[in-house]
């Protein structure tokens, strides 16, 4: 069965995390993804590659995860002959993705202005810290830089004295996800116009978008929010609570859940009639959270979760990574899959979260060795002869 993006071809010039993650999503969904790398390989190849605990046959966890379902072609884009090879690839492709620093694509003559002259249907996507315009767009940026500038760190953590980044690199990953949305939107528009276009993704823009209703609340009230840990600014109880052997989450977001909670938690003070509605619970939030935590500490998480789930109260164990990756719901949806090395060795990693009802085939080929597919792509896709390929290789153009 064909995957949903079968028939699309992506030239993946990305490195590190944001760009490779976006290209990985589309590769998982079936787009033929050709990773175009410099002759020495893109930088992510080296991350953790020499760490025996976090690598497989010389491929570090970053590269191994982010480059599955891709092919590797090594080309020197700084040379005229290398660009000529790349332009030939562009003529046969639908999408070019990159996350170079500002100005690099233009300097290399592989920006949208150059590539649309080669292929008017080409869609290019740049994922950068600050986009392609504005007073500060040329600033360098990595994940934590945009997490900080985007305001998210200021509302994460226990209090305002220690701003805290998200535990997952949401600045980078958000850029990759929005990049996929932008490319798919441009592809849909191309069906009407027949023309490609450029997708300009700013990681900072993505962080501002993710503020969502909290930004609107600020504009309405003028109040600048501060961190409140795992609590909620409206709902009570809504927090993480210690148990005898870990932590659990309880989320009482409607008054009916509170009534159900009283059937699980035997606390006379909670039966005060005033607590039946949210405003009084919010007013006494500190007391409710403190007392609830004291009660929950008396028994293990499994006991409380069984009781809470029986009453249909939203709750969850706060899983460590090993527990999350062994969860029966996660496993049932094929969210832990085998990651392969070309040698045949394998490990495991996260699967593809996009599940479709008809074109639902999932497979994950090995992350490629550097230049593993150079000859195959140039001969089979571009029709280069063995002599042409040999000349390019001896001239240091391809690897």
Catalytic annotation, residues: 172
- Other CB atoms within 10 A of residue 314 CB: 14
Q: What is the CB neighbour count within 10 angstroms for residue 267?
A: 13
- Cα–Cα distances (Å) from 101 to 126, 127, 224, in that order, read 9, 9, 32
Angle between helices 170-193 and 203-211 (to 10 degrees): 100
Please tell me the distance from the alpha carbon of residue 299 to that of residue 198, in angstroms, as a whole number: 57
Structure tokens at 220: 């309405």
Query: Which residues, 6+ apart, have CB-to-CB distance to 49 below 8 Å?
Result: 55, 58, 59, 60, 63
How many other C-beta atoms are found inside a 10 Å radius of the C-beta of residue 399? 18
Task: Give the burial string for 105-119 (b: 16+ CB within 10 Å, else e).
Answer: beebebbbebbbeeb
Question: How far, in whole angstroms, is CA 393 from its chain's centroid?
Answer: 36
Distances (CA, A) of 289 to 2, 263, 345: 51, 17, 49
Task: Tell me the angle at which helices 203-211 and 213-221 cross, rounded to the nearest 10 degrees.
Answer: 70
């Amino acid at each position: 069965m064909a995957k949903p993006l079968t028939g699309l071809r992506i030239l993946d010039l990305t490195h590190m995390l944001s760009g490779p993650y976006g290209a990985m999503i589309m590769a998982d969904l079936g787009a033929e993804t050709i990773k175009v790398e410099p002759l020495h390989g893109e930088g992510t190849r080296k991350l953790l590659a020499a760490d025996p605990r976090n690598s497989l046959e010389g491929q570090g966890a970053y590269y191994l995860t982010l480059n599955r379902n891709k092919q590797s072609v090594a080309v020197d884009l700084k040379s005229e002959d290398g660009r000529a090879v790349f332009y030939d690839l562009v003529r046969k492709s639908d999408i070019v993705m990159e996350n170079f620093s500002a100005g690099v694509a233009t300097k290399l003559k592989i920006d949208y202005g150059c590539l649309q002259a080669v292929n008017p249907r080409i869609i290019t996507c740049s994922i950068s810290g600050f986009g392609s315009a504005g007073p500060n767009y040329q600033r360098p940026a990595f994940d934590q830089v945009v997490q900080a500038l985007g305001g998210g760190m200021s509302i994460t953590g226990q209090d305002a004295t220690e701003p805290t980044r998200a535990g997952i690199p949401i600045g980078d990953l958000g850029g990759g996800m929005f990049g996929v949305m932008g490319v798919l939107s441009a592809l849909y528009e191309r069906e009407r116009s027949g023309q490609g276009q450029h997708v300009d993704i700013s990681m900072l823009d993505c962080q501002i978008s993710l503020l969502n209703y909290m930004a609107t609340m600020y504009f309405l009230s003028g109040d600048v929010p501060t961190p409140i840990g795992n609590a909620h600014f409206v709902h009570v109880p809504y927090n993480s609570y210690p148990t005898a052997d870990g932590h659990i989450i309880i989320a009482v977001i409607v008054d009916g859940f509170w009534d159900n909670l009283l059937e699980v938690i035997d606390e006379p003070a909670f039966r005060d009639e005033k607590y039946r509605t949210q405003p009084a619970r919010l007013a006494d939030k500190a007391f409710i959270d403190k007392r609830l935590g004291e009660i929950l500490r008396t028994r293990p998480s499994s006991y409380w979760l069984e009781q809470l789930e029986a009453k249909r109260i939203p709750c969850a164990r706060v899983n460590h990574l090993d527990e999350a990756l062994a969860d029966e719901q996660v496993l049932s949806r094929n969210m832990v899959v085998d990651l392969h090395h070309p040698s045949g060795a394998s490990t495991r990693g996260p699967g593809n979260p996009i599940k479709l009802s008809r074109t639902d085939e999932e497979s994950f080929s090995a992350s490629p060795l550097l230049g593993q597919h150079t000859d195959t792509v140039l001969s089979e896709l571009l029709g280069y002869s063995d002599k042409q390929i040999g000349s390019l290789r001896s001239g240091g153009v391809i690897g």
